[in-house]
Chain A
Amino acid sequence: MQDITVSRADNGVATLTFDLQGEKVNKLTGEVLKKLESVIDQLAVDTRVKALVLKSAKPGIFIAGADISEIDSITDEKDGVVKAEFGQAIINKLERLPFPKLAVIDGACLGGGLELVLACDFRLASDSKKTLIGLPEVNLGIIPGFGGTQRLPRLVGLQVGLELILAGKTLKGAQAHRKGVVDKCVPQAFINDEAEKFVSAMLSTGGVDALKRKRKKRGAMDRFWPGTSLVCWVAKKQLIKKTQGHYPAPLAALKVIRKTYQGNITKGLKVEAKAFSELVPTTISKNLVQLFYTHESLKKYTGVSSDIAVPSQVRQASVVGAGLMGGGIAWALSNKGIAVRLKDIQWGAIAKGLESAAEVFYKGVKRRKLSRVEAGLKLGLISGATDFSGFQSSNIVIEAIPENMGLKKKIFQEMESNCPEATIIASNTSALSISEMASDLRHPDRFIGMHFFSPVHRMPLVEVIPGEKTSPETIAATVQLAKRMGKTPIVIQNCPGFLINRILLPYVSEAVYLLGDGATIQTIDSIAVKFGMPLGPLALADEVGLDVGIKVTQILEQGYGDRMKSPPLFKKVVEDKELLGKKTNEGFYRYMDKHKVPSEKMMRLIKSESPNNSSYKPTTDVIRDRLILIMVNEAARCLEEGIVEKAEYLDMAMIMGTGFPPFRGGLLRYADQQGISGIVERLQQLADITSNRFKPASILIEMARLNQTFYK
């Protein structure tokens, strides 16, 4: 067997089959490209060949793209240009073969894979779920480098081309046909028959032209410069709005396409290769590639060592507490076909939970993500109860009631007496100690923390927190369930605030301290947003609710002492009861219909609380460092204490749990890039001028001394 084979039938139709040996997927490695070149060279001189069909022998995969590790190994622009132009040249050769070429796509056809088939005359896609077609390069901080920015817009038009390339969007077979990326989408079962038919149509006299005429005509906007400029201008505006300018790759792709769309393709390819090579060595691209790797590794993650038996699948679940979180968890379960018993004290509360789950389903129907019937079926999987009926047949019960240790302990005991011994009991607590919650249980081995983030349907992270006595089987089952729910579970060791709240709350508290030091609400938030955070710390506090926030800060203060002291202002605000955030329409901001303004009442409160007359006025840099480095410092401590297994997982958890900007690569990645010794120095300075909160973690001091980094 070989990576690429060519067979030639008597009728002159050659078939080129990709089957990368020793791999599950086909990739366009440098090696494969070289082999492809020699195959193409042979075909070019073979006069018996009348047509060429490109295929993959791998089920569910056509070509998944270029080899990411090869891209990652490119460290300078020169190397980037060479690699891009090498690939471009081979694909050009394929395009120039003197007979019609058809790609038969049954499976993933992404990045370089799509760039390759764009050089064919025709593309046929299957309707399989695994058939995904697109150019997702921008997600890795780069742009297509094998002609994608050239051939795709020329094929499907400027508007669609930009839409696909700038967002890195992938399409299913039918969508790809609608957008004009492929010429036909056919049932998977008949794809070979359809390919044969297509080839004979190609080979009939005038067949190629006739088939090409069938394609949708490009819009008028595409043909003349005012139209194209307008399209590009709109695209740019949308991009800036979406990315805040933090992500250079889509902007670069737009620039390349704008410059080259109507020109000569040879020149265009040069422009593309140059832009590609400029992006590949950037920190942002390296960060995004690293996150891609982490993501891939988390797909295989079980949370336990490999010798632990895979537990049986959850068929039915119960959720206690039908509030915002309970309703969200019920949604996430029923959405994956798991029957849910939703228990609360009153039917009114259950109805609220159903309402919030229904809202997400109805939204899905509106966006055509699922049909009305499917939504009804899924929603029907949730049934309410005010007693423990139905718990007997649940494989897992998840508690989502308010954070009250006494109340929770009582519920867990009730659960234990109403569930079979094999049922996992999980708590969606955001900060209470798992070991303590399990302390009165007869079987603490089946107890675990399963912390979802709000809103459940949008936040991908689940913190899985084993207590002292939790069994590895329980961990494995919980991780497996969270994955099935479409979430990314990461095992976190039991500590106050777990991982995310322990790191994120100091960010919010620090913002409150900064207010006391005279910084304004807007300045603080805008600096955080400029750094890339999705929300400034004060706007975030408003979203969560200040009363909820203060509870967590108090738990953290109890657990970690002075360095996590809950700011006194918080207490004052919560006592006031009117400035609790968005839910009372006023917190740090006052909320109007469509916009918000800093709350005057809050500002008065701040002034009266901290009559700050000292000369200390935090500058922009100081504000940024105080907000971000307080998190870096705590993140380092978490790693030091083994709260999370790896720096990679910690960084991914922060991104998925808080929306920490992916282009930064994560908190610890950021620390690496800033230089650990620089971080230590800066923390020491901040500690000197503000408080001991900034005393550098010992792991940082040690790493600085040994000149180490978090990432290898």
Chain B
Amino acid sequence: MRGSSLTLAVACWMTFLAEFTSPVAAQETSNAVFSARIAPFLNAHCLDCHTGDDAEGQTDLQSLTPDFTTDARARRWIDVLQNLQFDQMPPPESDQPDAKDRAEVTGWILNELNKTGRYEGYRKKLLAPEYGNWVSHEKLFSGDIKTPPFSPARIWRYSPAIFTYRGLGNAKSPFTFMTSERGIRDYASISVADQSTVQMMLIAADSFLADRQRRGEFDRYAAPELELSDQQLKDILQREFFRVIGRNLSEAEIAKYLAFCKQNISTGGNLEGIKTTIKAMFLSTESMFRMELGRGPVDQHGRRQLSSDEIAYSLAYALTDHPPERNHLIRDAWKSDKLKNKQDVEALVQQIMDQQLTTGRWEHRDLPRVMRFFEEYFGFHRAGNVFKDNDRRRREKINQWNTNMLVHDAKMLIEHVLRQDQDVIAELLTTNQYFIAHPGNNQYAKEYYDEQVAKMTAPGYVEEKVQQRREQLQKEVKDWQLKKDEAERRLESYRKTEQLRVERYKTAIAAGMNPHPSYPFAPKSRGIGDLLYIEPYNLPSSGSADEQKWDWPLEQPLAMPKNQRAGLLTHPAWLAAHSLNEDNDPIRRGIWVYERLLAGVLGDVPPDVDAAVPSDPHQTLRQRMQNLRDQRCWKCHRKINPLGETFEIFDDWGRYRNRIYFDQDGKVYHRRDGDFERRLEANELTTRPVDASGMISGSGDPNVDGPVQDAVEMMHRLGHSQRARQSFIRHLFRYLMGRNEMLSDSQTLIAAEQAYLANGGSFKALVVSLLSSDSFLYRR
């Protein structure tokens, strides 16, 4: 049984990766096929460079034998497989093998992996998000594949975010992601609940119950002599089950839990018996896993549709972190039996998108998973994860390194683009319309601004505030909490600060500027105190009591210089998130563009890669990275570096720059403080223009491929490209389906792209199309 399903899996795999595989190969022995077909291929295309002790990349292929019996030997063949599958080898300047021959070799390797039981491990590896692009992009969008789409029937362990809203207070989530932090996290087939998960859930349940016991919630059951009737117990069970799982128990389930509860009561008394029963709810299958088994009707292709209940849960968890009861639109459709088919789902998702796409409190949107997609796709939310040294910050004149604010600004940009819902993908990748220190909502921004300006400029404002403070301090003095002279000192200091704040408002208004009104944390806005953090935008910063230096626009978005900023990838939040502790990170940036906009494939990183870029204070980062043009490295880095190096027009704080400074010893000069100004004036620094030139290749469009001057030009070229659009759609598919695409999802992806285009580049249309697709609704 297992063998046959494996054979089938290999057959499918080989069909879509190596469709020209010869059927003869399967009939011949491994050795014979190796001698007759594989060895000649290697000889013709590989051995010239990869032979003997001085083989290129220390990869000697002459010593390869058709032996897959150990992991180490099989790994060498997997390396060959990857290089051939993704056209990494032979190098582009060499003669390329015929596609049929190439496919025959890859097919043979897969077959051999299967024969030695190593295929399953390889298959499992490909389930991870980082291998999503391994399915041929060209085939997915070719239109040649007519297979009716479906997702595998599956269990899906709950995400940490869903756990957070279970009402267990601050309990740490027992659910953790096994996926990489740099990408889409919640994948069904990679989610695991194991012993540590169960143990942690047990701990969470224990402390939850202990807290409730402390609060007296179980007091009425605590008396040992109290006999609880069946009806009383049933009521308790219904209430607790709803609290833990989020739905009511069926009659059969009530009977099961009742018997269990009675058994526990007879073992440990009322209190412990009931607590143990509640614990079982926490540890039950339904508390751990979402289930998408396809309990609806079966169609002519043998696919099972999700039942109405399953659709309600799947939609709720695709867009929110709550069960369906918590979203009134989903709940209403579900309860009124309008979740039965594709049309029902289309109508509901359209309604949700129209009414809730960017609504809700600032800290918890109605559809939290929408913004989470953009976070996981772009990765800008990780800006704060890259440590930047405070000394550097001071020397390089970043007055405040507030990555939270940069991330907030990026989110406002995204929400603005979503609200426009026109050419969303291109806009996100190319817009110079940014939000800076703004709550995102112009109406609210103006209301609060007007209120603050009126208050701050009213005569007697300072004295009124001082009086309020005086009364507060007098109370503290009276209560012996404060000495009188200390109270006076504090009051004076307070007065000065308020005077400075008023002064800032007045000076800004006199200079024709909008004083920044320090937005509070409120349901409509995330607190934004001042303009101290805005240096990464090449804007002059100021604190709340300092003279304001930048005319902060009350109505936003504002236009950033077009030659400096183009979309999210030139936003300081993204640049910081893709930087190193002390420098830019062209490699990670290049990988991002290559994988997420060009749908490119990079093989696994060789284990002996030494990622260190040599340090030489006399050279720019780009110069120091020249060693990656060594042939062994360049095999992969040729795909990455020409994309990532275009971002050298920014420093690692995200500031635009067009030149690099050197001191009198020829060392790169990073300081931007007073010393920099002094040396610049004294002509002690020399400069060189930044070289941020690069190259796009592999977009599939000759109008997009080619050299670029810098990241801004690259983003304008890529941002409007078909490849970037399709790549974005593939990632959104993965996020919503919780899995990598299969070739059989081709129709879903093509329909999604068409819906997007037919609606003027609408994100809403894209989500509606994907969530009502067969890939989402059918299981097999």
Say whether A and B bind each other: no
